[in-house]
A and B are shown apart, each in its own frame.
Chain A
């Protein structure tokens, strides 16, 4: 089990860093994002802690540090150390009894640095320890923020996520985390698409061609009326006594 040379391990302290941004919150927090650009350019770090115990009582230890950068381009990166040999052993034991692997981050605000200290409490998430072991510590940690940049939740999943009971023989697989880290801000729900719809209706209208203008009765049948009138005039000239009345009737 412990046959891997130590010196080899030291070389691989390169944590996986992934930066992903999904922040659309620029329309209503204009003031706050402005502040963020000024002050939070350097970013700050918060601890990421984890806990895995056989008796399921939480004892959180340091796992790494999250580098958070607020402002217009919210970004996050993670620097974390390897699991010690003792930790590896505990993790495998916890996995064997179907225990939980929990992580937690403190509640912070990405934009408003003043209020950060006033918020207490942590955001917690968990994953089954066995799935973490079987996935060789490849996990996906997602941080969720709300509209004003507060961290509201954290989640952790492993890929693959199932526990199939396969033994992890190789200790190397349990040394370094292979973490994918994302930060997700709320998406804006769509508004009713009235403009597009009207545009489409207009196009359809044009396609069909302009509808025939509603001509008035006289405009349509002027030649008939004229013809009728001439005919009546002609006939009335033959019988001048009844002419006026017939013209009115038409």
Chain B
């Protein structure tokens, strides 16, 4: 629950001192120390972090005053957080364990204390709402959680009652100590559901025997003794002064019962017809009663709702005698919470406040707020009502929409803030280059169009030059104008209109796909959300694959992304094609996909509109092409015999390869079967298609070259043994050629088990596993080399590489568990690679690949020193300077995305999980960028001085020569 605190090391610029060089090892290490750290003044300059909490389950406001600023939410991501209700900023946040162990069952708020039951009734926690500190934590008895409520004694809340499946316990609010615990009678048959206290000496527990009756047990607050036990009808709530209100769908009647009465209570029946309510009785008619208890030390309100249909509610009032009921208002098209709103035409929502006393609408309480065109519909409302200074009622509303967005609305309908909590669960993402500016695009367009005569071309060229000049002058004027302003006022607001590529392509559009089905376009420089699009009808368990079909490079064609959404149960897939810069859905005819999709592959083939072709393979091994124009089909027919793909069925341990035929059917050409009784396939990774490898080999100490085995079709298949005994468990790593099905290498890591995290890139695979014997995490690196001679240096073909590569492997101890791993990626692959490792602590470690090199020698020799190989050490160091996110921890890192920038030295990194963190890394330092404090003046003045010195000395020499000649 509590993360270990991270040690942050800032290296101050002034205090960077070269370490005393004692040995080569120390030189190398100190080199990394200096190159990796973030300078203190660079914090937040190139990076940003956004923190999220997830879908809200419970929300409470601090107090019923206008000035309160805090609100508290508990979410489905097991997070308890507090927001500033004015700005929507996170005040504090507690991240609990994932899964059911940390799930929040209920959140109750009373004064300064927030009570929380965690992990299906495992723990009871009390938090101080001011600072978010834990007051106390109590371990509850086993049993699944049912309900909890505050219990008041003489108008002060002192206790909390927790109802479990078979027991009820009372705890002191001040210290969490248990006052008493009692087993519930007959807990096998009765489903106890609710606990109620009205501020008297008793606690009532309501239980239901399905299709039979309801049990009410009253416990004494003092010692937990059962005072009385009553059985009644089903479907009841407590209303007013301890009156139990029940509704019976069979007789269409309401029943009231005073539960605190001395004598044996009896039900009094009130038919719904008497109340002039004639509900349309259909087969599943299930009336629901809703009541409200604003303060735990007082009785509930005597007004309550009767829900007759899905959107039909009646506000009723129990009269003071406790037996008669008066209808107050009939609400036809509404959803209700404790307060009421109704939706108009889905374009805007209106919220009205009604007085519960009379059922009349309060004046000036209507709030209209527009729904976003690409957002979800409202799902839940949390209303914060308060009395203003002039005694009129004011309120603010927290609206949760289906797309997990939280919107806070103030009274005249003003949206105060919006939090996009869907971003707490990013599934996949891509980074897309921004488009060129208008003038640049015009220049580009000039070359794109067909030539139409010499003269028009010259004119066009001249006109575009003029526009360029105009743009330059405007830019100069802007610079001049802004130079006079103080720097803080100059702000470059990023909007979707002003988006354009910067000089080094460092600013990109991050397209993020979230589990809720909402897509986001985020500016990578500032982190501001530029567009969002909610896809309705996305199943909660859908799998997503985001494919960039056309980049921004093909002006005037807009860039195009395709999202493949696959239902995990049926396997049926749908496509969503959109423009990644503006988020707009494009109106391209989509192929019909009636059969489940097994595999999708993006071909390097492009159609006449420069969109890459996407092939979708269905369960009958038929192939659908998208786009499927005549041009594409013709190209596919020509290339069919060289298009291979593979399918993996991990449930059968089956890997098989297919070749495309001219008629877009397929033939199976290879098959590898890993018996599922021995091991199961857990993950398969190929290489990233946009990866460049600059050097073909490595120069060794003796000046010979060791060539890398660079097979673009290589797949790394990782398996885990089905036998989980620590002595016999193993992790298997298979390197399989995806075209020929040839097993290039097969290694078994004994006494190991998952979870296995691995990266496959260039000629190496790095994987991390748990060593069951030594009980530690270990890293292993595999590198493949062709040897000192290349088989075919011009082109690589899987079909023509008869010799198996040499495989080198080394293993290291890693002193921390990891959650995810990715390798840096740069434009041309010249920069050395680093591994980005997400740790459970929230830190992201940038580990130089140099440390994971199977050629690290046991014994240092002249050659290995020449090659700059670090001597082998079994333990991998973790240095705090390597944490690229210094103290900006990323909670629950799920994935790391890397993208190259226009600068070779720079790699853009996005880590996502609960939070999103974007930064840049420079694995080989910024070798292609001049430093910020580069002294231009000194260099240029020296240059000019030298220039003039040569001029003058030349002149002097000439004069001297002339004089000598005269002599």
Contacts and interface: CB of A to CB of B under 8 A. Distances in A.
A208 to B, nearest CB: 12
Nearest to B810: A190
Interface stretch (B265-273, B510-518, B744-752, B817-825): B744-752
Interface in B769-794: 771, 778, 780, 792
A102 B673 contact: no
B675 A126 contact: no
A162 interface: yes
Interface stretch (A83-91, A149-157, A210-218): A149-157
Contact of B747 (A104, A107, A163, A187): A187
B811 interface: yes
B549 to A, nearest CB: 30
A119 B799 contact: no
A200 B859 contact: yes
A188 B807 CA distance: 12
A121 B671 CA distance: 10
Contact of B872 (A119, A122, A193): A193
A150 B679 CA distance: 11
Contact of A189 (B671, B678, B736, B747): B747
Interface stretch (B13-21, B613-621, B661-669): B661-669
Nearest to A203: B859
Contact of A152 (B675, B728, B799): B675
A123 B778 contact: no
Given A197-B872, A200-B858, A56 B667 contact: yes
A214 B679 CA distance: 56
A186 B661 CA distance: 34
B594 interface: no
Nearest to B767: A189
Given A144-B746, A192-B778, A28 B672 contact: no
B728 A28 contact: yes
B674 interface: yes
A100 interface: yes
A189 B809 contact: yes
Interface in A170-226: 184-194, 196-197, 200
Contacts of A27: 750
A190 B801 CA distance: 27
Interface string B613-654: 000000000000000000000000000010000000000000
Interface size of A as a range: 35 or more
A28 B659 CA distance: 38
Contacts of A123: 671-673
Given A28-B730, A126-B669, A147-B730, A152 B874 contact: no
Nearest to A199: B858
Nearest to B675: A150
A99 to B, nearest CB: 9
A82 interface: no
Given A189-B733, A192-B811, A153 B743 contact: yes
Main secondary structure of the interface of B (DSSP, over half): strand
A250 B661 CA distance: 99
Contact of A150 (B661, B678, B750, B780): B678
Contact of B743 (A56, A155, A197): A155
B54 interface: no
B493 interface: no
B784 to A, nearest CB: 13
B800 A161 contact: yes
A131 interface: yes
Contact of B802 (A107, A157, A189, A196): A157
A159 B791 CA distance: 12
Contacts of B583: none
Nearest to B771: A191
Interface string B672-705: 1111001100000000000000000000000000
B544 interface: no
Nearest to A143: B743
A159 B745 CA distance: 19
A102 B874 CA distance: 45
Contacts of B771: 191
B732 interface: yes
Between A28, A57, A127, A153, the greatest number of chain B beta carbons within 10 A of the residue's beta carbon is seen for A153
A19 interface: no
A125 B811 contact: no
Interface in A57-107: 57-58, 98, 100, 102, 104, 107
A140 interface: yes
A26 to B, nearest CB: 12
Nearest to A97: B641
Given A146-B679, A155-B742, A189 B780 contact: yes
B232 interface: no
Between A152, A187, A197, the greatest number of chain B beta carbons within 10 A of the residue's beta carbon is seen for A152
A138 to B, nearest CB: 10
Given A98-B641, A125-B741, A197-B873, A192 B675 contact: no
B897 interface: no
Contacts of B369: none
B652 to A, nearest CB: 9
Given A147-B678, A188-B750, A192-B811, A160 B740 contact: no
Nearest to A24: B748
A158 B802 contact: yes
A124 interface: yes
A128 interface: yes
B523 to A, nearest CB: 44
Contact of A160 (B659, B669, B747, B802): B802
Nearest to B779: A192
Contacts of B667: 56-58
A159 to B, nearest CB: 5
Contact of B673 (A152, A160, A184, A186): A152
Given A123-B672, A186-B748, A193-B872, A155 B733 contact: no
A191 B747 CA distance: 12
Given A119-B675, A196-B858, A200-B859, A102 B748 contact: no
B741 A186 contact: no
A147 B741 contact: no
A122 B809 contact: no
A16 interface: no
Interface string A100-143: 10101001000000000001011111111001000000001010
A197 to B, nearest CB: 5
Between B668, B671, B728, B749, the greatest number of chain A beta carbons within 10 A of the residue's beta carbon is seen for B671
A197 B812 CA distance: 12
A140 B740 CA distance: 14
Given A192-B811, A200-B858, A124 B671 contact: yes
A124 B669 contact: yes
A28 B673 CA distance: 21
Contacts of B323: none
A195 B679 CA distance: 30
A40 B721 CA distance: 25
B670 interface: yes
Between A146, A188, A190, the greatest number of chain B beta carbons within 10 A of the residue's beta carbon is seen for A146
A150 B719 CA distance: 15
Contact of A187 (B673, B736, B746): B746
Contacts of B542: none
A32 to B, nearest CB: 11
Contacts of A146: 674-675, 678-679, 732, 746
Contacts of A158: 802
B813 interface: yes
Contacts of B807: 187
Contacts of B750: 27-28, 188-189
Interface in B702-748: 721, 727-728, 730, 732-733, 736, 740-743, 745-748
Given A28-B728, A147-B730, A186-B748, 4 more contacts: A102-B669, A153-B742, A160-B800, A161-B799
23 contacts: A107-B673, A124-B670, A125-B740, A126-B741, A147-B678, A147-B721, A152-B673, A152-B743, A155-B740, A155-B741, A158-B802, A159-B802, A160-B800, A161-B801, A163-B800, A185-B746, A186-B746, A189-B747, A190-B811, A191-B811, A192-B812, A193-B811, A194-B874
